[in-house]
Structure 1
Amino acid sequence: MGEDHLPEYWLSGKIEEIPDLLQPAAHAILQSKLEAGTYVNNFPNELLWEKPAGRASVGFHLQHMTGVTDRLLTYAKKKRLSDEQLIYLKKEGEPDPTITTENLLKSFENKVEGFIDFLKTLQENDLTTERFIGRKRLPSTLIGVLFHAAEHSQRHIGQMLVTISVLKKEA
């Protein structure tokens, strides 16, 4: 980031009420929120579902980051996915002209805030407790689920940035 911007989240100090071992996860997902807002600022809705070179659309990335964060929070809370979450999963990336970039960004921002609120409820001694993922109930740990949510959002931010760059160049 340039000198006129705040430092990246990992350089901005401790986030109050979040256990020390979860600071990197909090920083990463907050960085995703910041970058998503920056990258889709003034992004045209008519390009939201475009797939340059057959790659995922900006709309997909925004929906997917929201959906994954929601689903992983569910697993972190030792719950199973609801029918509503499974329907959302199936619809991720389906073009919908009624959905705007602003709507998708707001949904992701809200989900990140919920993620941060959840981190504030945790104790470090809970982090190695077992969690099960998906219908196959694959084993993980609470800390594993939370870190995956954070790094997964970072991965999609990078992919979305490339898609945005290509679409803006073509426009």
Structure 2
Amino acid sequence: MTKKPTSQPPEFWLRGSIDGIPTLLQPAAHALLQSREELGKYTTDFPNKLLWEKPAGCASVGFHIQHITGVVDRMLSYAQEKSLSEQQFQYLRQEGDPNPKITIADLVSNFDQKVEEALLFFGQLPESELILPRTVGRKKLPSTVLGLLFHAAEHSQRHIGQLLVTVRVFQSI
């Protein structure tokens, strides 16, 4: 029995290297691009009126999108040895707060822009700097540049999975 060809491309990690991205950062770049693609797919036709709803106590779709955007932003700051700005702390405090002025398109666009910013940073980062120590947060918890960038990528994938479940709950109602 032959398989039908699928119209969907393979996941990003199976599409080959991304030009301009150091070899050791390819998995993180692939994960961020996969998150961006899946976010667009799962939020297509999702109604704005449900953006902040929490079915069965789950986090809202809006929270997940804001959170992954904020995490990538914060990890990029830490990777560059920057402290978080007041604007970043304000964003963190407001993640998930219902805001009727914000649309899904706004949130998806913000994440798209943050992924582009991350990829630009990846492309300018010498691989020799990936093992440099970095600290996280006010407690100055230990990490490395690579650890921070990997966390941003895997964390986005984790929340995309949770977002998918929340979207599916709404589709079943």
Same topology, TM > 0.5: yes
Off by >3 Å, runs of 4+ in structure 1: none
Distance 1:76 1:26 in 2: 15
| TM-score, scaled relative to structure 1 | 0.97
Partner of 1:107: 110
Matches within 5 A, 1:45-124: 45-124=48-127
Q: Distance in 1 between matches of 2:127 and 2:106?
A: 34
Question: 1:1-171 residue pairs with structure 2 within 5 A?
Answer: 3-170=6-173
Coordinate RMSD, CA, aligned: 0.8
User: Structure 1: where are the runs of 5+ without partners?
Assistant: none
Structure 2 counterpart of 1:51, one-letter code: K
2:120 aligned partner, one-letter code: D
Q: State the SS of the aligned residue for 1:160.
A: helix
2:163 and 2:20 map into 1 onto residues whose CA distance is: 31
Offset, 1:169: 1.2
| TM-score under structure 2 length normalisation | 0.96
> Unaligned regions of 5+ residues in structure 2, if any?
none
For this pair of structures, how many residues does the alignment match?
169
2-structure distance, mates of 1:123, 1:21: 10
Q: Distance in 1 between matches of 2:128 and 2:70?
A: 27
**2:124 partner SS:** coil
Secondary structure class of the residue paired with 2:46? coil
3-state DSSP of counterpart to 2:41: helix
Deviation at residue 168 of structure 1 after TM alignment = 1.4
Deviations 1:49-108 (A, max 9, x none): 010111100000000010011011000111000000000000000001111000000000
Task: Encode CA deviations 1:21-43: one digit per residue, 9 max, x unaligned.
Answer: 11000000100000000000111
Q: Percent identity?
A: 57
Q: CA deviation at 1:123?
A: 1.2
